[in-house]
Amino acid sequence: MLSNQSADPAKRSSLHGHWSSRMAFILAVTGSAVGLGNIWRFPYVVGENGGGAFVLVYLACVIVVGMPVMMSEILMGRRGRRNPIATMALLGSEEGKSTRWSLVGAMGVLAGVLILSYYAVVGGWTLAYVFKSGVGAFANAGVAVVTSIRDDFLGSWVNLGLYHTIFMGLTIFVVARGVERGLEQAVRFMVPALLLLMVVLLGYSITSGHFAEGVAFLFTPDWSKLTWDTVLTAMGQAFFTLSIGMGAVMAYGAFLSEETSIPGSATVVAMADTAIALLAGLVIFPIVFANGLDPAVGPGLVFVTLPLAFGQMPGGVFFATIFFVLLTFAAWTSAISLMEPAVAWIMEHFSKSRAQAAVMIGGLIWVLGFGTVLSFNVLADFTFWRGTIFDNLDHLTLNIMLPLGGLLIVVFAGWVMCRNATAEELGGAGLIYKLWRVLARYVAPIGILFVFLKAIGILPELS
């Protein structure tokens, strides 16, 4: 096929052009996928939910539910070529069905806004740790010092709010200017550098003396630790880490060239994302056990374990600073994609400039973010339903809105869109297409629904 095409000069040049845009797309989606979800959230939810069994359910969700949802989002984005709300309305009417499918896009836009409101607070927390690392606050520090630095930081809403403000400012700045160029360059450098530093950390973890214990915690399933609520959390984590279920990947798919393979791109992104999450687990749990920490401490887990590790390794001040810089970058590229659907919608729907839309949406998210800022201090005891304001936002968006969005997206791609349309986007009706179709029509929707109903307690336990 290649030699065939190279005989035709027009095709040869377009082949080259498309290779580079395939890379650009994969980089943009990887930038969105790799972020705090992998390094901050994955380890602490694994710790809170008992380890191995949770990890295996999460991996199964990535493959069986995550992959078909991601492919569906990309193909819908490429076919519609608009913001997610307009794309769903357009595709719905093209198939002779309701334009009301746009509500799925609207829920995604809302989910992006709510998620970013707490994501930016944790992004700010990461940024603050760049400076703490840089001045050597963690050098030779033990558990007590590292824990008190974390508690002091979280305890002050002014500090947390300040860094949240800086992080939101950075995000608004990039989104207002348009996301293309800088993002691509940043991700091209950031993901390999982050991987490299994770490998350095892994080296430290292996020598910590508790590596085997960490591996066992991560991969030995204790099924008695699993409840349907835990399964829902694992599924929510799979959606969150892959950036799916809220239209971010759909928005990026709108700029994808016709020739690029959607299954191929989705596979590369999912593998890179999963590898980074597992690596984070392999780094963090041996450190947890070596220092006698509790794996279930919650959102502060990486902000205690990693400073401890860096504090004890040679060149630790340098490595810690670089690491938190990279993690801030990773969070930044994800934050940009969380905001993009809302900004694209405001621009198209209200005829605003990109900068105006970014400031409006960003300002709203910034204000909402104080709900999370205060959840760690002033309002720490103000709890309802799932806990603090932060806990509720986390549960509502990740465990409800993203899986629900994903469910409606696969149902749309599998049942509402005609076979010809989806086969054309996924490169013909071969084996991969058949596999996608079975997953998108049956396995993923039934799986998501089943977990939902079980977790809510609507389906009774059998035994």
Structure tokens at 97: 């069905």
Instruction: Give the three-state DSSP class for 430.
Output: coil
Give the torsion sign (CA, 214, 215, 220, 225): positive
Residue 90 or 335 with smaller CB distance to ligand PHE: 335
Q: How far is the CB of 87 from ligand PHE (least distance, A)?
A: 16
Work out how close the CB of 228 gets to ligand PHE at its nearest, in angstroms, rounded to a whole number: 23
CA 11 to CA 33: how far, in whole Å? 32
- When the beta carbons of 44 and 211 are compared against ligand PHE, the nearer one is 44
Query: In the complex, what is the shortest distance from the CB of residue 286 to ligand PHE, in angstroms, rounded to a whole number?
Result: 22
**Measured between alpha carbons, how far is 262 from 304 in angstroms, rounded to an integer?**
39
Locus of tokens 């105006």: 356
Give the nearest distance from C-beta 65 to ligand PHE in angstroms.
15
Q: What are the residues binding ligand PHE (CB under 6 A)?
A: 32-33, 35-38, 115, 240-241, 243, 246, 248, 334, 337-338
Q: Which CB sits closer to ligand PHE, 24 or 141? A: 24
Nearest CB to ligand PHE, comparing residues 334 and 372 = 334
Of 407, 343, 339, which Cα lies nearest the Cα of 112?
339
CB of 242 to ligand PHE, least distance (A): 6
Most distant CA pair in the chain, distance: 70
Nearer to ligand PHE, 24 or 249 (CB): 249
φ/ψ of residue 296, rounded to 5: -100, 30
Secondary structure (3-state) at 387:
strand
Give min distance, CB of 107 to ligand PHE, in A.
13
Q: CA angle 146-151-154, nearest 5°?
A: 125
Nearest distance from C-beta of residue 273 to ligand PHE, angstroms: 7
Q: How far apart are CA 259 and CA 19, in angstroms?
A: 9
Residue 147 Cβ vs ligand PHE, minimum distance, rounded to whole Å: 24
Identify which of residues 270 and 290 has a Cβ nearer to ligand PHE in the complex: 270
Q: Cα–chain-centroid distance for residue 448?
A: 18
Cα–Cα distances in angstroms (integers) from residue 306 to residues 283, 323, 427, 439, in the given order: 9, 9, 44, 38
Residue 292 main-chain phi, psi, to 5 deg? 60, 30
Q: How far is the CB of 461 from ligand PHE (least distance, A)?
A: 32
Residue nearest to ligand PHE (CB): 37
Closer residue to ligand PHE, CB minimum distance, 85 or 290: 85
What DSSP line would sit under 322-379, residue for residue?
HHHHHHHHHHHHHHHHHHHHHHHHHHHHHT--HHHHHHHHHHHHHHHHHHHHHHTTTT
Name the minimum Å distance from CB 62 to ligand PHE. 12
CB closer to ligand PHE out of 316 and 394: 394
Beta bridge partners of 384: 387
Quick check: helix, strand or coil at residue 384? strand
Between 72 and 147, name the residue whose CB sits nearer to ligand PHE: 72
Closest CB to ligand PHE among 334 and 422?
334
- The tokens 């400012």 sit on which residue? 169
Give the whole-angstrom CA distance, residue 324 versus residue 129. 6
For tokens 């989910």, the residue is 111
